[in-house]
Chain A
């Protein structure tokens, strides 16, 4: 970083002017001074030679006509030149014709004709005097250089003074004139600071100074105009944008709220529909349940009838004593309790679950089996349960049991429909990928490949009196309510349903 980068343009200009002018003045003074110093002796010699030439020319006729008086007169006129301290005119014989001595009585030396020599601060010159080629005599002049020396010093002082004055004046002029350059630049710089510091795009720069600075100022102003215009446009755009955004946000919020409303409505509708479906499904199974109850009640009812007949026979044969009656009552109450428990079982099964609970999968499977085991037995279907009692899942127990009931019922119907003599249902309980899995296999011949994709669709059924709700309900319960999965595939001689549900976080008591 040079000195000029650190100081202002104003000072730079001043410094440049000072350096350049100063250098110029010093150089010029030096050249002039050295020139004067180097040549003043030679100039003195040249001057003396010129004097000698003039005197020799004027004095030649006097020598020619041997007029000593005239010669002295001519020589005497040299007295007007104070630096000449001695002059001697000799004729061609070497005789002194005239002599002028103002400072020195005798010549310091006698140089050869038409030459000069310097002796200390004196210069001595010899000049021949001729007329039309004839040598008439010789002229000797001696000049004192001290005067020239003083004159030289005076001249050097004058040069120095004049140069200093010129430098001072040029600097004065420069200081006055450089304002035309530096002031517009200052203005420009101040405007730039206003713009960058305050963000004031409204101020303008006066277009003064040189052509380039005016162009700069004009360019700057144009730039400010453009920036100001752009700022305004941007502000307008921003305002527009904000307005639009507010508007859109409002619209979106409205849309959102109406959407939520609709979602709520739709969800409600869907829920209603599900409820309806569940109810339909329950109603459908209710009949089956009643049939099951009827099956279960037939044996205790027969037993009760038999008990009543026994009581009557005992009374007829006089065997009805206290112990007999109490045993019969005890037996009858036991049967009634059993029947009551059966009803409780079914009632519990059809009570909808309020909350998710933890339960072991085996318990749910047994619950389902307890409901259907009589109908399975009647159909001569063997049930094999490979149970892992520790597997527990989280969800709705009754609904889960309901799913089991559906699948077991379907298996029974399939086996019965195909007229298979030895039906077999295998239930395997385990875990898979961190989920509880129940696999229910039957040997009912499997599901036709053409419809296997559609068996979970609502109202799809292959049976004449089927509702098409059972498997759809099962799907809804497992996948929607419990976050699990249900799948079906055909295996050798039958079908396999796999029900996967999340494992319980804690083991149920």
Chain B
């Protein structure tokens, strides 16, 4: 078996060319997202994605008995799609849905979805979530670049997400490389991506 493992390709680290291609693609798609174009069932898919994304994140305080709190700020764009997640568990923790009205209770969140309606609070949310162990999810063009860790966008009729590695790094959370390998990586700096 030693012979075989030696031949295995490094699946988890995509090559630089793929990254460059992904970046170019991301830049090309941005205007379309900014136009606010929607696809059918988009939020059902996003709700499912949020649930699935949670499985790839590791929070620093691991307590299996406390629920995993998912906060949705700025109204509920998912309709009833999120309610289907109430009965589910992530990494053995029950999922708890919270719709906070103000910024302050956000500290207790594990996952924070900032809906497009709350875009005006974005900078405060980003500041608050920094070092707080909150995985922030955005849903608007350029959110990731501004400091949101993961931001949804549309690639044609497909829902995609981009991630800000710097924000993730600062948050103290551990995100699975498998999630990263699917994401378009954006950099806070204006000089492009960072390997």
A positions within 8 Å CB-CB of B:
46-47, 50-51, 54-55, 58, 60-62, 64-67, 70, 73-74, 77, 80-81, 131-132
Contact = CB atoms under 8 A, between A and B. Distances in A.
A61 B179 contact: yes
A200 B178 CA distance: 93
Contact of A131 (B1, B9, B55, B158): B55
Given A50-B1, A131-B55, A132-B55, A61 B7 contact: no
A150 to B, nearest CB: 15
Contact of B56 (A54, A58, A61, A80): A61
Interface in B160-190: 160-161, 176, 178-179, 181-182
A498 to B, nearest CB: 133
B27 to A, nearest CB: 17
B12 A58 contact: yes
A54 B178 CA distance: 12
Interface centre among A64, A70, A74, A77 (most CB of B within 10 A): A64
A62 B11 contact: no
Contacts of B9: 77, 80
A73 B12 CA distance: 11
B182 A65 contact: yes
B14 A64 contact: no
5 contacts: A47-B1, A65-B182, A66-B158, A74-B11, A77-B11
B11 A61 contact: no
B4 interface: yes
Interface centre among B45, B176, B181 (most CB of A within 10 A): B181
B181 A70 contact: yes
Given A50-B1, A73-B18, A61 B182 contact: yes
Interface string B1-39: 100100111011010001000000000000000000000
- Which interface class (under 10, 10 to 19, 20 to 34, 35 or more) fits B? 20 to 34
B52 interface: yes
Contacts of A54: 8, 11
B81 to A, nearest CB: 16
Please provide the 7 A-B residue pairs with the shortest distance between their CB atoms, ordered closest to farther: A61-B178, A58-B11, A77-B9, A47-B4, A80-B9, A64-B52, A67-B182
A67 B181 CA distance: 11
Contacts of B161: 65
Contact of A81 (B7, B45, B55): B7
Contacts of B158: 66-67
Contacts of B45: 66
Interface of B: 1, 4, 7-9, 11-12, 14, 18, 45, 49, 52, 55-56, 158-161, 176, 178-179, 181-182
Contacts of A65: 49, 52, 161, 182
B150 to A, nearest CB: 11
Contacts of B4: 47, 50-51
A46 B4 CA distance: 10
Given A66-B45, A73-B14, A73-B18, 16 more contacts: A47-B1, A47-B4, A51-B4, A51-B8, A54-B11, A55-B11, A58-B11, A60-B178, A62-B182, A64-B52, A65-B49, A65-B52, A70-B181, A70-B182, A74-B11, A80-B7
Nearest to A81: B7
Contacts of B7: 80-81
A201 B14 CA distance: 89
Contacts of A73: 14, 18
Given A66-B158, A73-B14, A61 B181 contact: yes
Nearest to B91: A132
Nearest to A82: B7
A55 B159 CA distance: 23
Interface centre among A47, A50, A65, A80 (most CB of B within 10 A): A65
B2 to A, nearest CB: 11
Nearest to B160: A67
Contacts of B56: 61
A444 B181 CA distance: 174
B53 to A, nearest CB: 8
Interface centre among B55, B159, B178, B179 (most CB of A within 10 A): B178
Nearest to B161: A65
Contacts of B8: 51, 54
Nearest to B9: A77
A58 B14 contact: no
B156 to A, nearest CB: 11
A60 B14 CA distance: 16
Contacts of B14: 73
A73 B13 CA distance: 12
Contacts of B178: 58, 60-61
Nearest to B10: A77
A375 to B, nearest CB: 154
Contacts of A81: 7
Contacts of B182: 61-62, 65, 67, 70
A481 to B, nearest CB: 129
A12 to B, nearest CB: 44
A132 B160 CA distance: 21
Contacts of B181: 61, 70
A315 to B, nearest CB: 186
Nearest to B49: A65
A56 to B, nearest CB: 11
A365 to B, nearest CB: 142
A64 B45 CA distance: 11
